[in-house]
Chain A
Amino acid sequence: MSLLEIHEPGETPLPHAGEASLAVGIDLGTTNSVVAIARDGSPAALHDEAGRALVPSVVAYPEAGGVLVGEEARLVMVREPRNAVASIKRLMGRGAADLQAVAGVLPYEVEPGSGQTDMVKLRIGGKARSPVEISAEILKALRGRAEAALDKPVERAVITVPAYFDDAARTATRDAARVAGLEVLRLVNEPTAAALAYGLDKGSEGIYAVYDLGGGTFDFSLLRLEKGVFQVLATGGDAALGGDDFDRAIAERLLDERRRDGIAERIDEAAVKSALALARQMKEQLSERDQTSGRLELAGTPSFHTLARSEFEAMIAGHVARTLDIARNVLADAATAAAAVQGVVLVGGSTRVPLVRTEVAGLIGKPALTDIDPDEVVALGAALQAEALTGGGDTLLLDVTPLSLGLETMGGIVEKVVPRNTPIPVQLAQEFTTYQDGQTAMAIHVVQGEREMVADCRSLARFELSGIPAMTAGAARIRVAFAVDADGLLTVSAEERTTGVAQRVEVKPSYGLSHDDMADMLYDSLDNAEADMTRRLLTEARVEARRSLLALEAALALDGGLLAPEERATLDAGRDRLETAIAGEDRDEINAAAEALEALSKPFAERRMDRGIREALAGLSVGELESRVGE
């Protein structure tokens, strides 16, 4: 019996015709997530019973036990802030070094000692959990929602990631999907998915821009749409800039105002979370009106606050200006004038902020496209791509690497091997040489980023190429090859070429999960499956044992006279033992008792058979004899 089949990535067998499970599109967002499905080229977001498409990307591990995702988790977050986590996407694939940049800002408790060599872990609900595990819970919830809405198993998905996500974060996203039991057909960049949602519906052609300001990330991309081809020309962004920053600006003001009003209090996690919740509410209201007010109650002390839209706009002007800087650089990267852009698609809830809309329209010189809900547009595009990949659609997505990939060379300088905005998949190689006479090993340090110095870039992996034959400095030819696949995932290999002694080392990013971590998580996620399996085996054992008890009873009723009283007593003891075992929960005991009873009843069975043979000799037909023996 094969319960679970685990395949190497890329070696999943073909689904049997007719039983292919459905493939969905998932926008795994920082603040909210959405799952959608496309049928015959028309996508729809899947709603819960209350009609909501957005699932807050919040995971809670409440005191009461279990795991909650979405609205329910958000409620837990207010009651038990230490048992819930939001915005986990910001930590996908991140290590300790990255965390320093956001230290004191994130309301998370980081597991001490974690993230030195691997991905950071958080202490939530009294247990260390990785961003992959937490994200997997969100994906499981989305998968569950899809299965409930479609009434079919859902095992495959296109998942979107910010274009600006680096290799480690992409790997982490793929890992999370695996833990959630989803095969990732393709990781698609969010802006590409958004354009897909617009382009396919409207058959647009020309150059389009996608301005995506979500809760925690910002991306700006330029795409060319032409006869079903989506060509990403250039993309850029900031993985730590978004609507959460707007909330934080308001929340800081709220807490400042309380201080100014003379409220002396210790600002703890719960206070920050409450202030952020009110801040978000006020921000959303300011998209509709010029002025808003709110009441914040912390530790029983209420305070009242008002905020004008103009004040809010002054608070976030710096953030918005930064997004425009990035946009201008992307335009320059693609050698495209803003005026040549036919339209700009707005993605992400934060694009509802009026200041954002006017500034973006000002940059491009035309009003932004907003006909598709900016919260759903990415998931809808992902769903279309999922359908295209499974059903053989005609759309072609030509994506690029968002960030340059390179190697550390002498003096901590970065040598770029794959420049940013290179179309993927890509295989590029560069040759390096030894620095010292007789050098037999070379440390290879893979980095990602645009800066010249290694220290300013992100470290992805380190490995050593050893076994280089000793020769004079500069004579060895080390060829380092970078391969980025269509998902934007990187593999690096190195070999020495002069001597024909070729060594290859494949590396995966150091912030990705180690094999053991991955295995642990898979086993964790299999816990339930294992419990189901145990129950099933127990049931099977009981059924089997009851069947043999019934057979024995029938035989005793028929031929019980063949047994001496003490033999009968032993046999009855064996029957009692088996019946007690069946009433219990121990499958091994049931099986043992059944075997023991079979051994005890063996002489009885033999005597019955002898008697059967004697009866046959006394004139019974051969057919009757056989049927008796067979009993």
Chain B
Amino acid sequence: MDHFARLGLPAALDLDAAALDRAYFAAQRQWHPDRFVARPPEERARASTEAAALNDAYRVLKDPIARAVYLAGLQGVEMPSDGKTIDDPDLLMEAMEAREALHEAASPEAVDALAARSRDDMTAALAGLGTLFLRGDRAAIRKTLLRLRYLDKFAEEARGRRTNLQREKA
């Protein structure tokens, strides 16, 4: 059963966050191990497995990037596993320049500006994905998803840099 089916949701790129929460909470009400504390061990084991599967589905579908990667996977787009080096020269260049800028950012405000720009890039890339899925352009989907993954990682690095700068200032 795929993650969408498990939560009774349509397999779509755009997902109503409230609907996802409702479906997830309802399913957890049924399967969370806390509901099975006084039940026999087999039932508890089953509940634990079901709850874990629900959590996995929720974790993936809640995050727009992870959801897009998952949906692409269902449609046969193979993504390299996380942590592999970037194989797209354009993206490699963009990433190197952004990292350099982050490294040179000397104040929390400068970091914030960089983070805001990458957030905008992320929003734009996500918005463009819908058309690519409609066209079934697997190569373009893959390229966009790799870029999104990188932007996401960049956001985290920016946060770390910001924390360090603040600590130095304090």
Chain A residues close to B by CB (< 8 Å): 10-11, 14-15, 185-186, 226-227, 229, 231, 318, 321, 325, 328-329, 332, 388-390, 396-398, 415, 422-428, 483, 485-486
**Which of B7-15, B52-60, B127-135 lies at the binding interface?**
B52-60
Whole-angstrom distance from the CB of A155 to the nearest CB of chain B? 14
**Which of B28-36, B72-80, B99-107, B137-145 lies at the binding interface?**
B28-36
Central interface residue in B38, B56, B83, B163, by most chain A CB within 10 Å: B38
In whole angstroms, how far apart are the Cα atoms of A483 and B58 in the complex? Answer: 17
With known contacts A423-B58, A428-B56, A486–B48 Cβ distance under 8 A? yes
With known contacts A329-B163, A396-B25, A485–B32 Cβ distance under 8 A? no
Interface size class of B (residues with CB under 8 A): 20 to 34
A185 in contact with B166 (CB, 8 Å): no
Whole-angstrom distance from the CB of B102 to the nearest CB of chain A? 16
Whole-angstrom distance from the CB of A106 to the nearest CB of chain B? 26
Q: Does B167 contact A (CB under 8 A)?
A: yes
A328 in contact with B163 (CB, 8 Å): yes
A486's contact among B51, B59, B83, B167, by CB below 8 Å, is which?
Answer: B51
B44 in contact with A10 (CB, 8 Å): yes
Q: Does B170 contact A (CB under 8 A)?
A: yes
In whole angstroms, how far apart are the Cα atoms of A428 and B56 in the complex? Answer: 8
**Neighbouring B residues of A318 by C-beta, 8 Å:** 170
**Neighbouring A residues of B59 by C-beta, 8 Å:** 422-423
B52 in contact with A389 (CB, 8 Å): no
**Neighbouring A residues of B37 by C-beta, 8 Å:** 185-186, 389-390
A415's contact among B51, B53, B83, by CB below 8 Å, is which?
Answer: B83
**Neighbouring A residues of B163 by C-beta, 8 Å:** 325, 328-329
A427 in contact with B29 (CB, 8 Å): no
Q: Does B159 contact A (CB under 8 A)?
A: yes
**Neighbouring B residues of A422 by C-beta, 8 Å:** 55, 59
**Neighbouring A residues of B58 by C-beta, 8 Å:** 423
B38 in contact with A425 (CB, 8 Å): no
Whole-angstrom distance from the CB of B72 to the nearest CB of chain A? 20
**Neighbouring A residues of B170 by C-beta, 8 Å:** 318, 321
Across the A-B interface, the 9 shortest Cβ-Cβ residue pairs:
A423-B55, A486-B33, A427-B52, A425-B52, A389-B37, A229-B25, A425-B51, A425-B48, A426-B52
Known: A425-B52, A426-B55. 7 other contacts (CB 8 A): A229-B29, A325-B166, A328-B163, A332-B159, A389-B34, A423-B55, A425-B33
A427 in contact with B56 (CB, 8 Å): yes
**Neighbouring B residues of A11 by C-beta, 8 Å:** 41
**Neighbouring B residues of A10 by C-beta, 8 Å:** 41, 44
**Neighbouring A residues of B25 by C-beta, 8 Å:** 226-227, 229, 231, 396
Whole-angstrom distance from the CB of B139 to the nearest CB of chain A? 25
* Identity of the chain A residue whose Cβ is nearest the Cβ of B33 in the assembled complex: A486
Whole-angstrom distance from the CB of A115 to the nearest CB of chain B? 31
8 A–B contact pairs at CB < 8 A? A226-B21, A226-B25, A229-B25, A229-B29, A325-B163, A396-B28, A422-B59, A427-B56
Whole-angstrom distance from the CB of A413 to the nearest CB of chain B? 9
**Neighbouring A residues of B41 by C-beta, 8 Å:** 10-11
Task: For chain B, residues 148 to 170, give those with C-beta under 8 angstroms from any C-beta of chain A.
Answer: 159, 163, 166-167, 170
* Identity of the chain A residue whose Cβ is nearest the Cβ of B44 in the assembled complex: A10
